[in-house]
A and B are shown apart, each in its own frame.
Chain A
Amino acid sequence: MIQDEQTGKWESQAVIVDSLNVWGVGNDSILYLDKKGVSEVLLPLRSDTSVTQFVFQFKALTDTLTVYHTNINNYVSLECGCYVSYDLDTLESKNVLIDSIAIVNKQVRNFDEEHVQIFF
């Protein structure tokens, strides 16, 4: 949060984080490894369960983001098959690295929209 000098109001502003590591709990693959200049991350949710956890590691601080979601099966066609979309229910963290979390858009239907804001 930053304070506007003229109005005095506190406003959120996207920050750029260096050396960020992000991976999913229960998955050996790392989504972001020592990533520089990160202002947004794409976090794929699980389709086989309604809880997905991610570990955020920044320098010596490590936090776990837990996302509770509802999975929605979507049928496209026999040729194109199916995909899963999601409704975000709640999010929580251990508040070590992450200060708070806000859901911007509960419906996760595609990847080019902002759904969650994470405050450090």
Chain B
Amino acid sequence: MCRSFFSILLLVCSACLWAQDAPDAAEPAPIVEKKDSIYRGIGVKFDLFTPIYTLASTSARTMSFELGANVNLLNRYFPTIEIGYAKSEYTAEHGAMYAGQGGFLKGGVDVGVTKATSTLKNLFYVGIRGAVGMQDYNLTNVQYKGNYWGTIPPANLKNQFAVDVWMEVLAGIQVSIYEGLYMGWAMRYKYLFTKADKTEFHAWYIPGFGQNTDSQIGFNYYIGYNF
């Protein structure tokens, strides 16, 4: 009787031990769940092209910084925001001068066009942005054409404020350097919505856009990290 009791007790303990081992056997389940989740992490990036170009070039008149952050969805979709600051000065041939500085904000999404994999390594992507840039600027010593009645004093506009809106389409690649660290290149076509009335005074440069023309081509070289 006593032997039977211990045999039953031993069986029950074995069953209990087996029952305690059962969750360990199913441990890979959460990993599978993570791979299937839409959210795969976040990334940050810093544009090096404009600062390097400004330092390397004697003719560059603009200093611009740009930071970006994105959310990785399925290793394919990357909702992105980019913020930056730019300062620019330009003196024309006859002494007219523009000086302005301001910030910009861009929002949009990048879409990977290569096959999505379980880990984000190298990526070729296309994207779209909506962007807004704001600045304070001065236009000084803008010359008038004189006539029979003599010369007209030059125009000086101080503390002007401008807001500009544009969109961008872009294509880029990013290449993994080490673990989450990557570098990338992107080329952008920018189309300005707030086109200036050509006969009104307007800023020579738009932060985040470039020279104040209907469209611009931009280039970025990024260093970034994916968490």
The segment out of A11-19, A23-31, A56-64, A91-99 that lies at the interface is: A23-31
Number of interface residues of B (CB under 8 A): 24
Residues of the A chain whose Cβ atoms lie less than 8 Å from the Cβ of B144:
47, 81-84
Decide yes or no: A82 and B147 within 8 Å by CB, A75-B200, A75-B201 being known contacts.
no
- Sorting the interface of chain A by its residue count into under 10, 10 to 19, 20 to 34 or 35 or more gives 20 to 34
Task: Mark out the residues of chain B between 152 and 177 whose CB falls within 8 Å of any chain A CB in the assembled complex.
Answer: 152, 154-155
Contact for A74 among B93, B139, B199, B202, CB less than 8 A: B199
Name B212's closest neighbour in chain A (CB-CB): A77
The segment out of B29-37, B94-102, B180-188 that lies at the interface is: B94-102
Interface residue? A41 (CB, 8 A): no
Determine the main DSSP class of A at the interface with B.
strand
Most buried by B among A31, A76, A83: A83
Residues of the B chain whose Cβ atoms lie less than 8 Å from the Cβ of A73:
155
* A73→B201 CA distance, assembly (Å): 9
Determine the main DSSP class of B at the interface with A.
loop
Pairwise interchain contact B155-A79, C-beta atoms closer than 8 A: no
Interface residue? A46 (CB, 8 A): yes
Interface residue? A48 (CB, 8 A): yes
CB distance from A82 to the nearest CB of B (A): 5
Pairwise interchain contact A47-B152, C-beta atoms closer than 8 A: yes
Residues of the B chain whose Cβ atoms lie less than 8 Å from the Cβ of A45:
149
Residues of the A chain whose Cβ atoms lie less than 8 Å from the Cβ of B204:
78
Residues of the B chain whose Cβ atoms lie less than 8 Å from the Cβ of A81:
94, 96, 142-145, 154
Name A75's closest neighbour in chain B (CB-CB): B201
Contact for A44 among B148, B154, B199, B200, CB less than 8 A: B148
CB distance from B62 to the nearest CB of A (A): 15
Name B154's closest neighbour in chain A (CB-CB): A81
A-B contact count (CB 8 A): 60
Name B196's closest neighbour in chain A (CB-CB): A75
Task: Mark out the residues of chain B between 78 and 117 whose CB falls within 8 Å of any chain A CB in the assembled complex.
Answer: 90, 92-94, 96-98
Pairwise interchain contact B93-A24, C-beta atoms closer than 8 A: no
Pairwise interchain contact B147-A31, C-beta atoms closer than 8 A: no
Residues of the B chain whose Cβ atoms lie less than 8 Å from the Cβ of A77:
92
Most buried by A among B93, B143, B200: B143
Pairwise interchain contact B142-A27, C-beta atoms closer than 8 A: no
Pairwise interchain contact B149-A46, C-beta atoms closer than 8 A: yes
* A37→B155 CA distance, assembly (Å): 40
CB distance from A77 to the nearest CB of B (A): 8
Pairwise interchain contact A82-B148, C-beta atoms closer than 8 A: no
* A91→B98 CA distance, assembly (Å): 39
Question: Beyond A75-B198, A81-B144, A83-B144: 14 further Cβ-contacts under 8 Å?
Answer: A48-B152, A75-B142, A75-B202, A76-B199, A77-B92, A78-B90, A78-B96, A79-B93, A81-B96, A81-B143, A82-B143, A84-B144, A84-B145, A84-B152
A-B contact pairs, 10 of them (CB 8 A): A24-B148, A27-B148, A74-B199, A75-B198, A75-B199, A75-B202, A78-B97, A81-B94, A81-B143, A84-B145
What residues make up the interface of B, taking CB atoms closer than 8 Å to A? Answer: 90, 92-94, 96-98, 139, 142-145, 147-149, 152, 154-155, 198-202, 204
